[in-house]
Amino acid sequence: MARMHTGKHGKSKSRKPDVPLGTKPEGMELNEDQIVKLVVEYAKQGMHQAQIGQTLKDDHSVPYVRQVFGKRLGVILKENGFSQDIPSDMMDLLTKAINLRRHIERNHNDIHNKTSLHRVEAKIWRLSNYYRENGQLPVDWKYDPVKVALLIKS
């Protein structure tokens, strides 16, 4: 499958080891209750989903939460009351777009980043359509850079 914004082809596949769900990975010393406590503790500290997963990998040798529990980290956070209004991948794209807009305001002639902004916003529009259809975003949600900048600041 070709990449979206380049003429090149890429290797689109997962690099995760093929381990059945619900099996305890080798070398993991924590049990499921301890992992859930750590996830909740990190969420209270304000860490994002990706940061929590990376910290569990690096500091506590938990390779993949999904292998241990059979469900994703976002589901575990939602079960413990840490749900987000906007999905994390969408929020990452929104912050990237806001940062690019700030950069372009200071550097008007930066053509490459203007193109990059157009590409990021195209991804945001496609992703917002997907999330609206699946009910993860409200039906009337629209991408407005001014409102998103206020949302990200707070």
Q: Which domain holds residue 127?
A: 88-153
**56 band by pLDDT with thresholds 50, 70 and 90:** very high
pLDDT of residue 112: 97
Q: Are 74 and 112 in the same domain?
A: no
Average pLDDT over residues 59-68: 86
Residue 87 has pLDDT above 70, yes or no: yes
Q: Around 48, how many Cα atoms within 13 Å sit in the side-chain half-sphere?
A: 9
Residue 135 CB coordination number (10 Å)? 8
Tell me, what amino acid is at 149? A
Residue position matching structure tokens 């203007």? 114
Is residue 100 domain-shared with residue 65, that is, in the same domain?
no
In terms of domains, do 98 and 73 share one?
A: no
In a domain, 145, yes or no: yes
- The single-letter DSSP state of residue 25 is P
Tens-digit pLDDT profile for residues 108-144? 999 999 999 999 999 999 999 999 999 999 999 999 9
Quick one: pLDDT band at residue 1, thresholds 50, 70, 90?
A: very low
